[in-house]
């Protein structure tokens, strides 16, 4: 029997039981759509992380206080006193691969303007802080080195702060707000930057001279972090070596000593985030693929039922000359068709689901061609694998016994 006749017989057999065929394909549809959606969203998430980190600058280097340990217990780094303004000056003087540098201190508190108040974060930095962190001034001016020397109470605010403190439409430039009990004059407003890869609102920020924050708000001589911009992305590794060497010397540490600071680059952060995202994508895709196995078992179950229902037909076809391999191929073809049609529908649903979720989360929509191709191949393999045993059973039926079957 030729392939076209076998295809027609398999097609008619599927159409005779439309509802049953659709329910059989449902497991495959759910499995394939889930796998494609998970892989696509995983790649979209990774791309979103890359884009977000790129907005912070690919040549960004962060120096932070090291975690303290006492008796083998990690005490955190909130009380660590290892970074000073002197360190910043030494890095600026000795590290030729450093383009810009800014001390950084921060504290949280209540922002107040008249009857309005808002819980915010006061970030202390140098005039270079805005450029290093890839912020842009929408209007107004940046503070100056003179503001830092004189501990002036001036600040630049993000759009979230403006929306919550100046909801009456007043121009914030030149207006005064209080951070706790300390008044600050607004001299600039930042352009909106949105959320970062951690979901934090980057516009919910107030930036002031680091000297003012250290003296008037924190009463400390120590920095929380140092933000550095290397001369180029390629120079980051050299800059890290220079920074590490300078700080080890400044802190009078030997090569065998454990540093009381940590130096990290955006490349390290990007690698870590992509590693986590990739692991979660594989995990979710593996969980979603379980429904493919369930769908395959459903196909096997239905093919068993089909073989039982058509036992007499099998006997009749065998009696008039159909070979065992023709019978086996017919049922294998039916199984593969159920799997492939279900897979095609699943691919469409998976792509639509990925698109809808990506748009809802404002992530880039990425189609993983490899996942679509692999899913289609898996569908064919599933149909053949789970349809083989019922098909073999049909092919091995004794024609006389089959003809007598009621």
Q: What integer is the mean pLDDT of 54-61?
A: 72
Ranked by mean pLDDT, which of 159-173, 252-266, 333-347 comes out on top? 159-173
Kindly report the pTM of this predicted structure: 0.61
Does the pLDDT of residue 75 top 50, yes or no?
no
| Between 252 and 47, residue with greater pLDDT | 252
Total residues found in the chain within this entry: 406
Mean pLDDT of all residues in 127-141: 92
Highest mean pLDDT pick, 19-28, 252-261, 369-378:
252-261
Tell me the C-alpha to C-alpha distance, in Å, between residue 299 and each of 23, 347, 382, 400: 10, 18, 9, 28
User: Can you tell me the distance from the alpha carbon of 144 to that of 209, in angstroms, rounded to the nearest whole number?
Assistant: 8
Cα within 13 Å of Cα(201), Cβ side:
13
180 vs 45, residue with greater confidence? 180
- CA–CA dist 329, 336 (Å, integer): 10
Average pLDDT of the segment spanning 380-404: 64
| Mean pLDDT confidence for 29-49 | 80
3-state DSSP call for residue 205?
coil
Q: In 3-state terms, the chain is what percent helix, strand and coil (to 5)?
A: 55, 20, 25
Residue 166 to residue 175: CA distance in whole angstroms: 10
> What pLDDT is stored for residue 65 in this prediction?
86
Nearest to 91, CA basis, from 56, 123, 126 = 126
Question: What Rg do the C-alpha atoms of the chain give, in angstroms?
Answer: 33
- pLDDT surpassing 80 at residue 298: no
Neighbours of 252 (CB within 10 A): 7
Structure tokens at 244: 């590490």
Burial class (CB in 10 A: 0-12, 13-18, 19+), 45: buried
165 — pLDDT class (breaks 50, 70, 90): very high
Does position 311 have pLDDT exceeding 70, yes or no? no
Greater confidence (128 vs 72) lies with 128
pLDDT at 68 over 60: no
Average pLDDT on 199-215 reads 90
């Amino acid at each position: 029997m030729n392939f076209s006749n076998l295809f027609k017989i398999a097609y008619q057999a599927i159409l005779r039981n439309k509802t049953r065929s659709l329910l059989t394909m449902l497991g495959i549809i759910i499995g394939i759509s889930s796998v494609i959606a998970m892989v696509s969203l995983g790649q979209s998430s990774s791309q979103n992380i890359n884009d977000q980190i790129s907005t912070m600058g690919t040549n960004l280097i962060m120096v932070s206080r090291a975690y303290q340990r006492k008796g083998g217990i990690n005490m955190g780094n909130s009380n660590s006193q290892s970074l000073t303004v002197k360190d910043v000056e030494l890095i600026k003087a000795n590290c030729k691969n450093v383009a810009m540098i800014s001390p950084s201190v921060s504290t949280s508190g209540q922002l107040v303007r008249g009857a309005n108040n808002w819980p915010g974060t006061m970030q202390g930095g140098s005039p270079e802080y805005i450029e290093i962190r890839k912020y842009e001034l929408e209007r107004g001016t940046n503070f100056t080195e003179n503001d830092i020397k004189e501990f002036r109470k001036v600040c630049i605010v993000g759009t979230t702060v403006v929306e919550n403190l100046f909801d009456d439409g007043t121009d914030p430039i030149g207006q005064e707000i209080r951070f706790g009990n300390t008044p600050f004059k607004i001299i600039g407003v930042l352009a909106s930057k949105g959320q970062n890869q951690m979901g934090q609102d980057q516009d919910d920020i107030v930036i002031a001279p680091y000297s003012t924050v250290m003296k008037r708000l924190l009463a400390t001589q120590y920095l929380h972090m140092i933000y550095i911009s290397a001369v180029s992305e390629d120079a980051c590794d050299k800059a890290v070596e220079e920074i590490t060497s300078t700080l080890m010397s400044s802190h009078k540490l030997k090569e065998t000593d454990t540093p009381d600071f940590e130096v990290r680059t955006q490349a390290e952060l990007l690698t870590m985030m992509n590693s986590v995202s990739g692991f979660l994508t594989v995990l979710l895709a593996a969980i979603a693929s379980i429904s493919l196995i369930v769908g395959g078992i459903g196909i096997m179950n239905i093919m068993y039922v089909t073989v039982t229902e058509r036992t007499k037909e099998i006997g009749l076809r065998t009696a008039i000359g159909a070979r065992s391999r023709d019978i086996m191929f017919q049922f294998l073809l039916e199984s593969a068709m159920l799997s492939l049609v279900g897979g095609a529908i699943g691919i469409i649903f998976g792509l639509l689901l990925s698109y809808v979720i990506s748009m809802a989360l404002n992530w880039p929509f990425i189609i993983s061609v490899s996942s679509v191709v692999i899913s289609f191949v898996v569908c064919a393999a599933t149909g053949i694998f789970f349809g083989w045993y019922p098909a073999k059973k049909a092919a091995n039926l004794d024609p006389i016994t089959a003809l007598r079957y009621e």
